[in-house]
Amino acid sequence: QKQKQKQQEEEEELEELEWNEVWDGSTTITLIGDHCQLGPVVVCTALKTQLGQSPFRRLSLFSTLTPVILRQQYRMRPEISRFPSEYFYGGRLINAGTTAVGSVEAKGALPPPIAFYDVHGAETRDGYSLANVAEAKQVVEIVKNLLGMGDVPTEFPIARGIDIGVITPYLYQRELIRDYLTAAGVPATVQVSTIFKMQGGEKDFI
């Protein structure tokens, strides 16, 4: 019980330090961000309960403040934005008349908005990180097909200048995919990154 109380006191002290950095005595403070995006990475297990949520998230849940949401989104096709809109934003997102897909349509290439691949492979571990060789190889084939480099002809070869990104939760998998893409001769312009590193970025294809 004493340990739990000590942990709670430490969390409150950290919280106070956090807000002291923001508040300078002004009567009005404007915080700009997204309370529904990824939370912070908290390594200390004892502090995850309190600090696992961003300040924006805590304010939206535990205060009388009501966030002002910019509802119109330009980045995603409606088929992709539907889920985050309903699951995270209460169905309040509005799709703009022109989304990021416009640059793809202009070059005559429009693959299905979402595709799922059933890949059977085993995970391997490197320290705390994971990788899956079968999935990495499948990613390479998908990227090659988008670029018109695959062995199997595709009806959706993408013209040069279109941005492609590959996202994975694990550093080990990121390095594996990068190595395979390089070995396959895929241009280095195809960005491979983790979820946290890619957050806030924008690509024509993910």
Better-predicted residue by pLDDT, 4 or 198: 198
The span from the CA of 6 to the CA of 166, in Å, is 42
Can you give the pTM of this predicted structure?
0.69
Percent of the chain with pLDDT over 70: 74
3-class SS of residue 129: strand
Mention every residue, 6+ apart, whose C-beta is less than 8 A from residue 4: none
CA 43 to each of CA 47, 51, 125, 156: distance values in angstroms, whole numbers, following the listed order = 8, 10, 19, 43
3-class SS of residue 83: helix
Which residue type sits at 177?
Answer: I
The span from the CA of 156 to the CA of 101, in Å, is 14
pLDDT at res. 151: 60
Average pLDDT over residues 63-71: 80
β-strand partners of 205: 164
Residue 132 parent element (H or E):
strand 129-132
pLDDT above 60 for 87:
yes
pLDDT at res. 167: 95
Cβ neighbours of 193 (radius 10 Å): 17
Q: Which range, of 10-14, 23-27, 56-60, 135-139, averages the lowest pLDDT?
A: 10-14
Average pLDDT over residues 148-170: 71
pLDDT above 50 for 106:
no
pLDDT above 90 for 123:
yes
Dihedral sign of CA atoms 178, 184, 189, 191 in order? negative
